[in-house]
Amino acid sequence: MLTLWGKQAEDFTDDSQPVIAVKGARIGDFSGKSLSATSNAVFLVNPDIPEAHSLRGWFDNEGKTAESRSLSGIKGGLGGPAPWKAIRESSISDLADSEKGDFFMSKVTLMSVKREYPAYMACPSANCQKKVVDMGSGTYMCEKCCQEYPNFKWRMMLSANFADYSGNIWATCFQESAEAMLGLSADIVGPMHKEDPDAFDALIKNIVFRSYIVKFKSKMENFNNEMRRKSTVLELHPVKFEEYTRKLMAEIKESAF
């Protein structure tokens, strides 16, 4: 499955089962393999390259009638499966001796999102995500790259509160997970927050109390000489209730013996 955002989604109207080539897409392996065309992705329909012609020939001759093989399944991505935990169970985990942190999955409900600074102007360089400074002369300075650019790219960084039956957790949602939660790309949300705060507020109100399957990472970090637990959303997907119900039924059967 390939997810398009913003103008790419608005402009795509081809329903002829075309060959699509994407460069720079984000690959997810949570609940099935998926692609997400980020704002920096290159997106081509029926490209004139040998691989596309080969794929077209295979599909027309046999692929369209071949039985598809599902790659879905409720499991974690970004390094492999993670154990399922309730939020309270994760909050009492001992992270003092863990350099990598605690990775876990939870079915949670979005309770609230902080409205302040959901997106920031970032360095347009492909290998940099640092915030840039508006120089006021039509250029933007990246202190990490020590370079001025004529443009910038929007990057998301939302602070959201999630809850389940056992408790709640504040976690940071970066670009991909924030875009998945809001249903809009950073290129749309960034200007909206600055220019139309009422529309942004309505967007947040529209998504609260939705349920998701989330892969979290919790780690202890030093903040002003004080160790604090910091949680990050690594993957976020709407609940596929059929799959989630099968998971629960399997757990019930296991616990019955």
As a whole number of angstroms, the distance between CA 252 and CA 176 comes to 33
Amino acid 14: pLDDT: 73
What are the residues whose beta carbons fall under 8 Å from the beta carbon of 87, sequence distance 6 or more?
106, 108, 162, 163, 164, 166, 167, 168, 169
Q: Looking at the predicted structure, is the pLDDT value of residue 168 above 90? A: yes
Amino acid 127: pLDDT: 83
DSSP conformational letter for 126:
T
Q: Which amino acid is at 242?
A: E
With beta carbons less than 8 A apart as the criterion, state whether 164 and 86 touch: yes
Q: What is the pLDDT of residues 8-20, one digit of tens each?
A: 777 777 777 888 8
With beta carbons less than 8 A apart as the criterion, state whether 243 and 31 touch: yes
Measured in whole angstroms, the distance separating CA 191 from the mean position of its chain's CA atoms is 20
Q: Looking at the predicted structure, is the pLDDT value of residue 182 above 60? A: yes
pLDDT band at 93 (very low <50, low <70, confident <90, very high): low
Q: Which of 94-98, 124-128, 159-163 has the lowest mean pLDDT?
A: 94-98
Amino acid 27: pLDDT: 62
As a whole number of angstroms, the distance between CA 61 and CA 39 comes to 34
Q: Which of 57-61, 117-121, 149-153, 223-227 has the lowest mean pLDDT?
A: 223-227
Q: Read off the pLDDT of each residue in 128-138 and give the average, rounded to a whole number.
A: 90
- 3 state DSSP class of 14: coil
With beta carbons less than 8 A apart as the criterion, state whether 25 and 2 touch: yes
Work out the mean pLDDT of the chain and round it to a whole number: 82
Measured in whole angstroms, the distance separating CA 227 from the mean position of its chain's CA atoms is 27
What percentage of the chain has pLDDT greater than the value 70?
A: 83
With beta carbons less than 8 A apart as the criterion, state whether 178 and 158 touch: yes
Beta bridge partners of 155: 120
pLDDT band at 73 (very low <50, low <70, confident <90, very high): very low
Angle at 1 between CA 21 and CA 193, to 5 degrees: 90
Nearest to 235, CA basis, from 33, 36, 77, 101: 77
Q: Which residue has the higher pLDDT, 98 or 140?
A: 140
Beta bridge partners of 226: 223
Amino acid 188: pLDDT: 93
Q: Which residue has the higher pLDDT, 91 or 219?
A: 219
For helices 197-207 and 175-182, what crossing angle results, to 10°?
80
Structure tokens at 124: 């347009």
Q: Looking at the predicted structure, is the pLDDT value of residue 118 above 70? A: yes
Amino acid 94: pLDDT: 60
Amino acid 216: pLDDT: 93
As a whole number of angstroms, the distance between CA 123 and CA 144 comes to 9
Q: Which residue has the higher pLDDT, 68 or 137?
A: 137
Q: Which residue has the higher pLDDT, 126 or 106?
A: 106
As a whole number of angstroms, the distance between CA 83 and CA 123 comes to 35
DSSP conformational letter for 64:
G
Amino acid 55: pLDDT: 86
Its pTM surpasses 0.75: no
Amino acid 72: pLDDT: 44
Q: What is the dihedral angle through the alpha carbons of 176, 178, 183, 187, rounded to the nearest 10 degrees?
A: -80
Amino acid 33: pLDDT: 56
